[in-house]
Amino acid sequence: MMKRHPYSDELGRSLIRFFQDYLPTLRGMSRHTIHSYRDTLVLLLQFLSAKRHRGIERLDLAAINAESVGQFLTSLEQDRHNGIATRNARLAAIHTFARFLATEGPEHLAAAQAILGIPFKRGARSAPIEYLEQDEVEALLNAVDRTTVPGRRDYALFSLMFNTGARVQEVLDLRSCDLRLQRPCQVRLQGKGNKVRVCPIWPQTARLLQRLVEERPYPLDATTALFVNNRGDKLTRFGVYYLLRRHLATAGANVPTLREKRIHPHSLRHTTALSLLKSGVDFQTISQWYLSASPELMREAMRRLEQRWEDVQ
Q: Give the domain-ending residue among 62, 85, 116.
A: 116
Q: Are the CB atoms for 162 and 265 separated by under 8 Å? A: no
Please give the residue range of the domain that contains residue 34.
6-116
Specify the DSSP element, H or E, that contains 207: helix 203-214
Q: Are residues 210 and 89 in the same domain?
A: no
| Residue 13 designated active-site | no
Q: List pLDDT tens digits, range 163-185.
A: 999 999 999 999 999 999 999 99
Domain assignment of residue 122, yes or no: no
Exposure class string for 220-246: b at 16+ Cβ within 10 A, else e: beeeebbbbeeeeeebebebbeebbee
Q: Number of structural domains, the chain?
A: 2
From 13, 80, 192, 195, active-site residue: 192
Strands of the 196-200 sheet, one edge to the other? 179-180, 186-190, 196-200
| Residue 167 designated active-site | yes
Would you give per-residue pLDDT tens digits along the chain (313 residues)?
Answer: 344 444 457 888 999 999 999 999 888 887 878 988 999 999 999 999 999 998 898 898 999 999 999 999 999 999 998 988 899 999 999 999 999 998 888 888 999 999 999 999 886 555 667 899 989 999 999 999 999 999 999 999 999 999 999 999 999 999 999 999 999 999 999 877 678 888 889 999 999 999 999 988 766 788 889 999 988 899 999 999 999 999 999 999 999 999 989 899 999 998 998 888 777 766 666 666 565 555 565 666 666 666 656 555 5
Domain assignment of residue 124, yes or no: no
| Residue 3 designated active-site | no
| Residue 269 designated active-site | yes
Q: Give the domain-ending residue among 81, 116, 151.
A: 116
- Torsion of the alpha carbons at 224, 229, 232 and 237, rounded to the nearest 10: -40
From 87, 90, 167, 247, active-site residue: 167
From 54, 152, 266, 299, active-site residue: 266
CATH of the domain at 174: 1.10.443.10
Q: List pLDDT tens digits, range 109-128.
A: 999 999 999 999 886 555 66
From 90, 153, 197, 269, active-site residue: 269
Alpha carbon 18 to its chain centroid, in Å, reads: 21
Q: Are the CB atoms for 171 and 205 separated by under 8 Å? A: no
Q: Are residues 105 and 213 in the same domain?
A: no
